Amino acid sequence: MSLYGLMGHNSLATRRVAAEIDGRVFDLWTRLAIDRDLSEICGSFQLELRDGARNLASWPYVTPGDPISPFHWGQKVKLYVDEELVLVGWIDDVNPSADEGNLGVSICGRDVVGDLVDCAASVEGPTEFKGLDLLQIAERLVKPFGLKARADVDVGPAFDRYTFDCGETVLSALEKGARQRGLLVTSDGIEGIVLTHSGKQRGADDLSFPGNVRRSDGNFSGRERFSDYYVKGQSERAGGARRKGVALDGTAEPLGAASPIQSEEKRGVTIQGHANDPEVTRYRPTVSMTRSAATAQSAQTQADWMMRTRRAKSDKLDYLYPDYRGSSGRLWRPNEISLVDDRYQVVERDLLAAGVTFLYDERGTQTRLRLTGPEAYDMDPEGDRRCNKKRRRGGGALDGTARAL
């Protein structure tokens, strides 16, 4: 039987979201939000409805409605949009509220990957793997939680040695390896985690304003951008090799600044990467230290990554789309690319859906789309994806030289 059949005759035709909780299906929401965001890793939800069981227990004279057993934290939830499963997770919070005019309960939670964000990767061990690639490591770390790990891209070679602290969370333990392999760790919302790259699939629709979106909001900020990004660290040569054949005795004195031994030692120890953002015209340097032994190449790669991703994330667009599905018939999903033609924000180029929220309230069904530059979550460079496209029709004044997001 379909979910719509299970909902019964009290269902409203416009209520397209259903939640299955402990074998029962609910759809009479007063408002809801189902959110998936690349920066948060796991998806989340907030559902509000009137709880008939609580109402009757408190005020026997109220209209009974559908008696609902009180919700509890820890209950498993399956969320469907148009009968399509979009999220599986757990209730984290239950918030009943009542006053003279309103009676209701709000339930909030996250998808199954929320436990990987909170919980330790390995309590009893192991905290070191040898000769395994990142997918194999991920599979071992998520297995105790009853979850799965998969990859839709090449995960790269195996690690000779992969270590983490026993108190680190699962996501923290995996993200350091993902950074080294140029991968993005995200949730599929249902079964576990996915190792992937940024923006490899087209979105459910192109976006235009004025056009097919109800609202356009922009945020262009220079607070987190810098003119110069430096990454500094030490190489493995900072050990005993620095003074091979040199013996100190009681008459030895500190080496002078011009000492050839000290200069050689500095060359063997100091690693630095540097990237410049030409769009930041005043002097604003920042320095980041590597967390482990580095090479000149890895330090330079990290500096380039910091510049590129901060530049992309500094400019954001936020749209309200009047449905859960685009013109393609597909549901909106994060980590997909859409062409944005926004005359007001002076943008006509591909942008990445960094966050997608399905909404229902007094305004009906709509999707909130949070878009940013495609480079925002690129671990590896994907070429120049910041240029506006040339106008293909009359009006407007954008061309390839226009200021890009």
Tens of pLDDT, residues 187-231: 999 999 999 988 889 999 999 999 999 999 999 999 999 999 999
Fold of domain 222-240+265-313: Phage tail proteins - 2 layer sandwich fold (3.30.1920)
pLDDT band at 22, cuts 50/70/90?
A: confident
Fold of domain 201-221+314-377: Phage tail proteins - horseshoe like beta roll fold (2.30.300)
- Cβ neighbours, 10 Å, residue 391: 15
In whole angstroms, give the CA distance from residue 33 to residue 361: 9
Query: What does the longest C-alpha to C-alpha distance in the chain come to?
Result: 97
pLDDT at 238: 46
* Delimiting residues of CATH 2.30.300.10 domain(s) in the chain: 3-111, 201-221+314-377
- Cβ neighbours, 10 Å, residue 201: 11
pLDDT at 305: 83
pLDDT at 174 over 90: yes
In whole angstroms, give the CA distance from residue 40 to residue 186: 9
Q: Among the listed ranges 41-45, 241-245, 279-283, which one has the minimum average pLDDT value? A: 241-245
* Delimiting residues of CATH 3.30.1920.10 domain(s) in the chain: 222-240+265-313
pTM of the model: 0.79
**What sign for the dihedral angle of Cα 218, 224, 227, 232?**
negative
CATH of domain 116-196: 3.55.50.10
AA identity, residue 320: L
Task: Write out the CATH class of domain 3-111.
Answer: mainly beta
